[in-house]
Amino acid sequence: MIFTIAAKELKILFSGPMAWIILAVLEIILAYFFLNQVDAFLTIQPQLTALANPPGVTELIVTPLFGNAAIILLMAVPLLSMRLIAEERRNQTLNLLLSAPVSVSEIILGKFLGLMAFLSLFIGLVALMSLSLYAGATLDPGLLAGNIVGLVLLAASFAALGLFISSLTSHPLIAAMGSFGALLGLWIINMSARGADSWLNTLSLLKHFESFNRGIINSADAAYFVLFIALFLVLAVRRLDNDRTHG
Partner 1 sequence: MTKITVSAKDLSRSYGTRIAVRDVSFELRQGEVLGLLGPNGAGKTTTLQMLAGCLAPSTGSVDICGINLLENPREAKALLGYLPETPPLYRELTVDEYLRLAARLHRIPKNAIANATEKARQRCGLTEVGKRLIGNLSKGYQQRVGIAQAIVHNPRVVILDEPTVGLDPIQIREIRSLIRELGGEHSVILSTHILPEVESVCDRIQIMHQGKLVFSGDMAALKQTYPDQANLEEVFIQLTKKEESA
Q: What is the CA radius of gyration of the chain?
A: 20
Choose between 195 and 247: whose C-beta lies nearer to partner 1: 247
Choose between 146 and 172: whose C-beta lies nearer to partner 1: 172
Choose between 117 and 193: whose C-beta lies nearer to partner 1: 117
CB of 7 to partner 1, least distance (A): 9
Choose between 183 and 240: whose C-beta lies nearer to partner 1: 240
Residues contributing to the site for partner 1 (CB under 8 A): 1, 4-5, 8, 11-12, 15-16, 91-103, 244-245, 247
CB of 11 to partner 1, least distance (A): 7
Choose between 98 and 177: whose C-beta lies nearer to partner 1: 98
Choose between 70 and 85: whose C-beta lies nearer to partner 1: 85
CB of 156 to partner 1, least distance (A): 25
CB of 18 to partner 1, least distance (A): 10
Using CA atoms, how far residue 226 sits from 90, 94, 128, 141, 181, in Å, is 30, 28, 25, 24, 21
CB of 50 to partner 1, least distance (A): 58
CB of 92 to partner 1, least distance (A): 4
